[in-house]
Amino acid sequence: MSITTASQTIGPYWHLLPFEGWNDLTRFGATGDVITITGRITDGTGAAAGDCCVEIWQPRPEVENFDGFGRAATDKDGGFSFTTLRPEPVPGVHGRLGNVQQAPHVGLTIMARGLMKALQTRIYFEGDAGHDQDPVLNLIEDPARRATLVAKKTGAAAYHLDIVLQGAGETVFFAI
Amino acid sequence: MSDLRAFRPLVPGTQPEYDADVYGSTKFRAPKQQLLQVPTSLTEATGPQFSPSRYPSIIDISKVESGEAQGQRIVVEGQVTDEDGRPVPHTMIEIWQANSTGRYHHDGDQHDAPLDPHFQGAGRVFTDENGMYRYISIKPGAYPWRNHHNAWRPNHIHYSLFGPGFATRLITQMYFDGDPLLKYDPIYMCIADAGSRERLVAGFDLDLTMPEWALGYRFNIVLRGRNATPFEDSNDHGDH
Ligand SMILES: [Fe+3]
């Protein structure tokens, strides 16, 4: 068996990669229930993490011209934003967790200077049904920590999540 | 139909830790809480798929329309496989790097070395059906950074790969054989396993080298392999 290639930090100069417009997941012409997701990333001192590469992935909805992928850079204030289609519930997980459908969510990857490996987590959406039964949210016992994955509803189709890399209020990050 | 099998856990020691004292920027960014072990579902087992029609290839970054970049031209070739040695076909690889003087074409890079008007420093290639990729560039220069006194990054090219699933996302760096700076570089050295470090070093390859044109380097990449079981619930193991 071969061993997976080691991860290295994305560093401070990853912006050389193309990403302009990639934070709009409808950029190839997908239509549907459009939502915006904004976020803000801070570090263990409370300072804005202004050089992060943030990516989202959502396998649902399955509609034409929607590849479920977006990339954004955090700005000086640590902020990022995505325009996407409202995610749909996805099939559950077999085994002890039961095959319960998962509440709508997007997968989130954060890469940055100072992160030797990508951080992965999910964004759920305030007001959606199914959070109480969701097999991943239910792995987190502390309600305060569970809440770090749920974006606040800030408008009819707008959501916002504060992400804390380290320390008080630290976001729950995943080993997948 | 998507492949829904879970990815195998990574071999301990073969990946860097988040918290690395020698690399100062990790101090306030590395999470302190243990990561939550999450079972694989559709969201983790699948991932974005890219096609050259929407993400056009940029194979030769050793020149722009107005002229050729300064420096040693190189051709880099390699294979992307999974842990079982199976090729990862049609996957997107993004690369970016400093120019031959060790300066990035980036506003944040204030290193006192000349920019090259003929070098932008970012490319994008796709593996073929056998997992093979190839691009043309110039050898990047070493550059100073402020991690510690007299800190210099070894020559390196940054890599970004997606692979078949959300769980296979990989950011890494390719280094060059024989670079004297490697053993002083915290980013390279903070991988505990020596073999895993050495696999980040591209080997010079005379067969890839193109007469009177470019030096050849080979750099293979391994992405995570899959388990046998679909939608595996990792919490089912070991406790009953
Ligand atoms: Fe670099």
Q: Provide the pLDDT for residue B231.
A: 54
Q: Provide the pLDDT for residue B6.
A: 87
Q: Which fold has domain B48-222?
A: Protocatechuate 3,4-Dioxygenase, subunit A (2.60.130)
Q: Provide the pLDDT for residue B240.
A: 30
- The domain at A14-164 falls in which architecture? Sandwich (2.60)
The residue in chain A having the minimum alpha-carbon distance to the alpha carbon of residue B167 is A176
**Residues β-bridged to residue A153:** A159
With helix as H, strand as E and coil as C, how does chain B read? Answer: CCCCEEECCCCCCCCCCCCCCCCHHHCCCCCCCCCEECCCCHHHHCCCCCCCCCCCCECECCEECCEECCCCEEEEEEEEEECCCCECCCCEEEEECCCCCCCCCCCCCCCCCCCCCCCCCEEEEECCCCCEEEEEEECCCCEEECCCCCEEECCEEEEEECCCCHHHCEEEEEEECCCCCHHHCHHHHCCCCHHHHHCCEEEECCCCCECCCEEEEECCEEECCEEEEECCCHHHCCCC
Q: Provide the pLDDT for residue B5.
A: 86
- DSSP codes, A79-125: EEEEEEEPP--B----STT-SPPBPSEEEEEEE-TT-SS-EEEEEEE
Mean of the pLDDT values across residues B157-171? 97
For residue B45, pLDDT beyond 60 = yes
Q: Provide the pLDDT for residue A96.
A: 56
Whether residue A123 contacts residue A105, with contact meaning beta carbons closer than 8 Å, is answered with yes
Q: Provide the pLDDT for residue B17.
A: 97
Contacting residues of A for B32, CB less than 8 Å apart: 44, 166-167, 170
The position carrying tokens 């993490």 is A49
Which candidate from B33, B48, B173 shows the least CB-CB separation from A8?
A: B173
Predicted TM-score of the model (pTM)? 0.96
Which candidate from B47, B94, B121 shows the least CB-CB separation from A57?
A: B47
Q: Domains of chain A: which residue ranges?
A: 14-164
User: What does the angle CA A101 – CA A106 – CA A108 come to, to the nearest 5 degrees?
Assistant: 135
CA distance A156 to chain B (A): 25
Percent residues over pLDDT 70 in chain B: 94
**Complex ipTM tops 0.90:** yes
| Own/partner long-range contacts of B151-157 (Cβ < 8 Å, ≥24 apart) | B151/B184, B151/B186, B152/B181, B152/B184, B152/B185, B153/B181, B153/B185, B153/B187, B154/B179, B154/B181, B154/B182, B154/B185, B154/B188, B155/B179, B155/B181, B156/B97, B157/B76, B157/B95, B157/B96, B157/B97
Position B237 confidence tier, pLDDT thresholds 50, 70, 90: very low
Is B158 one of the annotated active-site residues of the chain? yes
**Residues β-bridged to residue B80:** B221
Q: Which of B5, B103, B124, B156 is catalytic?
A: B156
B221-223/B73-82 β-pairing: parallel
Mean of the pLDDT values across residues B30-46? 94
**Between residues 41 and 100 of chain B, which touch chain A (CB distance below 8 Å)?**
41-44, 46-50, 54, 81-85, 94, 96, 98
> CB A22: neighbour CB atoms within 10 A?
17
- Output the tens digit of pLDDT for each of chain A's 176 residues: 899 999 999 999 999 999 999 999 999 999 999 999 999 999 999 999 999 999 999 999 999 999 999 999 999 999 999 999 999 999 887 665 667 899 999 999 999 999 999 999 999 999 999 999 999 999 999 999 999 999 999 999 999 999 999 999 999 999 99
Position B4 confidence tier, pLDDT thresholds 50, 70, 90: confident
Record the tokens describing residue B135, joined without a space. Answer: 């691009």
Position B232 confidence tier, pLDDT thresholds 50, 70, 90: very low
A113 and B191: CB-CB below 8 Å?
A: no
Mean of the pLDDT values across residues B20-42? 96
Q: String of b and e for B13-49 (b: at least 16 CB within 10 Å)?
A: ebbbebebeebebbebbbbeeebbebbbbbbbbbbbe
Is B143 one of the annotated active-site residues of the chain? yes
For residue B2, pLDDT beyond 80 = no
Interface test with A, best of B171, B220, B226 (most A CBs within 10 A): B171
Q: Give B95-104 pLDDT, tens digit per residue.
A: 999 999 999 9
User: What value does the mean pLDDT of chain B take?
Assistant: 94
A55 and B169: CB-CB below 8 Å?
A: yes
Q: Side-chain half-sphere of B167: how many Cα atoms within 13 Å?
A: 27
User: What does the angle CA A25 – CA B43 – CA B171 come to, to the nearest 5 degrees?
Assistant: 75
Q: Which of B111, B118, B158, B218 is catalytic?
A: B158
Q: Domains of chain B: which residue ranges?
A: 48-222
B43 and A102: CB-CB below 8 Å?
A: yes
Closest CA to B57 of B93, B98, B96: B93
Q: Provide the pLDDT for residue A136.
A: 95
Contacting residues of A for B160, CB less than 8 Å apart: 10, 14, 17
CA distance B210 to chain A (A): 27
B17 and A116: CB-CB below 8 Å?
A: yes
Closest CA to A49 of A167, A172, A176: A167
Closest CA to A9 of B132, B18, B48: B18
Measured distance CA(B229)–CA(B37) in Å, rounded? 17
